[in-house]
Structure 1
Amino acid sequence: MKIFWFIPTHGDSRYLGTTKGARQVDHAYMKQIATTVDSLGYEGVLIPTGRSCEDPWIVAASLIDATKNLKFLVALRPGVTTPALAARMSATFDRLSHGRILLNLVTGGDEQELKGDGVYEDHATRYQTANEYVKIWREILTRSHTGEDFTFHGKRLSVDQAKLLYPPVQKPYPPLWFGGSSDVATDLAAEQVDTYLTWGEPPEAVKEKLEVVRKKAASRGRVLNYGIRLHVIVRETNEEAWSAAEQLIQYVDDETIAAAQHKISQMDSVGQQRMAALHGGKRDKLEVSPNLWAGIGLVRGGAGTALVGDPETVAARIQEYASLGIDTFIFSGYPHLEESIHFAELVFPLLPLETQKKLAQPNLTGPFGEIIANNYTPDKKHVQESV
């Protein structure tokens, strides 16, 4: 089991849909989150992409020296960059970070936004382009280890004698991730990627989706890894956690929700449509599955659900998804700095033993916790003796 966190390059706040409690996301803040989750033992961080975000490649590159082990899941954008340039950028990042880059293929789901980036393709065409894009990208990186070049002429993209002189550290290429729910998206995943990602739908819906991808991959002689993207709101008690969930959207008015849902409805992303259908833009039935709360999706595009509860409950829900074959969990929470610490302190000790060992810090000697009255270590025995 691998646990990732999230760098909020599109903004962060204590509350959604309002400037109240909002905080400035500058390099110092992003660095603070990155160094915190690196020290806590998270596997890596997802860095989002799109018009609403700071550029993920520049953000990730700026955090290499600030971190030691953290991996960076960065977007590949067919149509926005060429596959040869993306291969060169991927290899360079991989070399400079000593093998800490992962690539997230993002085809986009908002035609209006894509046109602003100069991409004039409909949904089906974007996936045709993405398929050829990945073939070129992967072959350039793979052949760089032997010094070969690569020529390819497809319906959408072509290269002649493309060559990369500096190969990546990871062989044959940095792992490729992707999430999509349409038929063409699951076809692409089955044929091209290493890890398939889903947003946090109810377990039964996730199970059905993974079975589709698994069968398609098997028909091509491939076996994929699987991951899930979720928010999390964890507190010491269930009551505190649900109260925190309600507080998160307490300043969101109906007009803001309506505007957000109208914009989301214009997107051609099937995954986004599935997210929106969970709540229907209404506040009255936001717990769409036990401890799975869709309140974030009222105003946020992309992943819109959160696991809500006490540590034991959240850990049990994580295990429920893990039992479906998911081995990577990408979490986030508001504000992202504080919630990363809450989650690590409260849930990490309840995860499977092998994951606990991986997350554990170097074996330092105690005592741990603040010393009591300048003399006693903070454990039950000494506290009782001092009373």
Structure 2
Amino acid sequence: MNVFWFLPTHGDSRYLGTSRGARTVDGDYLRQVAVAADTLGYDGVLLPTGRSCEDAWIVASSLIQATRQLKFLVAIRPGLSTPGLAVRMASTFDRLSGGRLLINVVTGGDQGELEADGLFADHATRYEISDEFFRIWRAAMAGEGGDKGFDFEGRHLSVKGARTLYPPLQKPYPPLYFGGSSEAAHELAAEQMDVYLTWGEPPAAVAEKLADIRARAAKHGRTVRFGIRLHVIVRETNEEAWRAADELISHLDDEVIAKAQAAFAKMDSVGQRRMAALHGGRRDKLEVSPNLWAGVGLVRGGAGTALVGDPETVAARMQEYADLGIETFILSGYPHLEESYRFAELVFPLLGKGKQGGEHSLTGPFGEVMASDIVPKTSVPNTGVPKKAA
């Protein structure tokens, strides 16, 4: 299991829909979250993209020297940059970070946002552009065409002699992660992407999507790996976890929910429509599957569901997704700094990950020394595969 965390470049808070409990998200805070994820043993972090966020490439670049092992999942948005520019940016980042770049392919689902950035293309056209973009990007990264470079003439994009003089450390290129729920998205994932990401839908719906991607990839003689994007609300007991879920939306009023849902309805993203359909904007139907809570999606675009429960329950629900073929879990919680620690402390031991999973410090005691010289007893939970949740 690969477990990633999230850098909240669009803001952070203890409560959704209000400034109460909010905090300033600046370079210092993002560094704190990144360093916490790195030292706790998370495999990487996802950086969001769009006009509601700080620029993902600049933020990620600023954190290379502050981290050691952490990988950065950073977005490329076809149509908003050229393939050649994206190749240079990715190659440079990969080299300077020591091979720690992962690419998040985002076609975009908010027409208003895209038009504000200068991209006037409908859903189908954006996928045509993305298909051509990454044919060029992958070929240039892999060095196709040798010293003469790679030539391509498509319906939307054309290049002559595309190449990079500074190839990435990861061969043939940093892995491509991609999410989308439309037929066009599934076809693009099957033919060109390395990891398909789904938002946190109920396991049966996820299984159906993964089966479709596998079948499509097989027709191209390929295999695709899988990941899932979820929030987490984990506490020592199930009762505490559900109270924390209620508290997260305790200051959220119906007017804000209605405005958010109206904005989501204007988007042409199939995935966003599937997220909204899980709860229909209603507070009384938020547990859409056992321990899968859709409260975040009342006002948050994109990933809108959270796993809620005690450590054993959350680990077991993760295992259910893993049994479907999910290898990478991209998680987050509010506020992101504290919840990165909470999840690592409570769930990592059950997953056999990080320092909380048994990799104790070699330079001193693990825990607080008592009465000057009494070292805490070793007590590491079972790191085997968690049992199925009841």
TM score, norm. by length of structure 2: 0.94
Amino acid at match of 2:268: D
**Mapping for residues 251-262 of structure 1, pairs under 5 Å:** 251-262=251-262
Q: Deviations over 1:89-117 (max 9, x none)?
A: 00000010010000010000011110001
Q: Deviations over 1:181-223 (max 9, x none)?
A: 0000000000010000000000000000100111000111100
C-alpha distance 114-240 of structure 1, shift in aligned 2 (>3 A) = same
C-alpha distance 360-176 of structure 1, shift in aligned 2 (>3 A) = farther
Shift of 1:369: 1.6
Corresponding residue of 1:286: 286
Please state whether the residue corresponding to 1:212 is helix, strand or coil: helix
Corresponding residue of 2:127: 127
Shift of 1:378: 2.6
RMSD (Å), alpha carbons = 1.7
Corresponding residue of 2:382: none
C-alpha distance 115-50 of structure 1, shift in aligned 2 (>3 A) = same
Q: Distance in 1 between matches of 2:114 and 2:33?
A: 29
Amino acid at match of 2:342: H
Corresponding residue of 1:368: 366
C-alpha distance 310-145 of structure 1, shift in aligned 2 (>3 A) = farther
1:217/1:223 contact within 8 Å kept: yes
Corresponding residue of 1:270: 270
Please state whether the residue corresponding to 1:307 is helix, strand or coil: strand
Matched, 1:17 2:17: yes
Amino acid at match of 1:274: R
Shift of 1:75: 0.3
Q: Distance in 2 between matches of 1:197 and 1:148?
A: 35
2:83/2:134 contact within 8 Å kept: yes
Q: Distance in 2 between matches of 1:270 and 1:358?
A: 38
1:40/1:361 contact within 8 Å kept: no
Shift of 1:145: 10
1:132/1:157 contact within 8 Å kept: yes
Please state whether the residue corresponding to 2:250 is helix, strand or coil: coil
Corresponding residue of 1:379: 377
Q: Distance in 1 between matches of 2:267 and 2:192?
A: 24
1:144/1:166 contact within 8 Å kept: no
- For structure 1, the 5+ residue unaligned runs are 382-387
Shift of 1:372: 2.1
**Mapping for residues 64-75 of structure 1, pairs under 5 Å:** 64-75=64-75
Q: Distance in 2 between matches of 1:31 and 1:249?
A: 27
2:189/2:196 contact within 8 Å kept: yes
Amino acid at match of 1:164: T
Corresponding residue of 1:246: 246
**Mapping for residues 1-387 of structure 1, pairs under 5 Å:** 1-143=1-143, 147-351=147-351, 353=352, 355=353, 361=359, 364=362, 367-379=365-377
C-alpha distance 165-247 of structure 1, shift in aligned 2 (>3 A) = same
C-alpha distance 267-209 of structure 1, shift in aligned 2 (>3 A) = same
Please state whether the residue corresponding to 1:42 is helix, strand or coil: coil
Q: Distance in 1 between matches of 2:123 and 2:184?
A: 9
1:144/1:167 contact within 8 Å kept: no
Shift of 1:306: 0.2
Q: Distance in 2 between matches of 1:360 and 1:102?
A: 27
How many residue pairs get matched?
Answer: 379
Please state whether the residue corresponding to 2:283 is helix, strand or coil: coil
Q: Which runs of 4+ in 1 moved over 6 A?
A: none
Percentage of identical aligned residues: 66
Please state whether the residue corresponding to 2:307 is helix, strand or coil: strand
1:191/1:217 contact within 8 Å kept: yes
- For structure 2, the 5+ residue unaligned runs are 380-390
Amino acid at match of 2:349: P
Please state whether the residue corresponding to 1:327 is helix, strand or coil: strand
Q: Distance in 1 between matches of 2:224 and 2:66?
A: 31
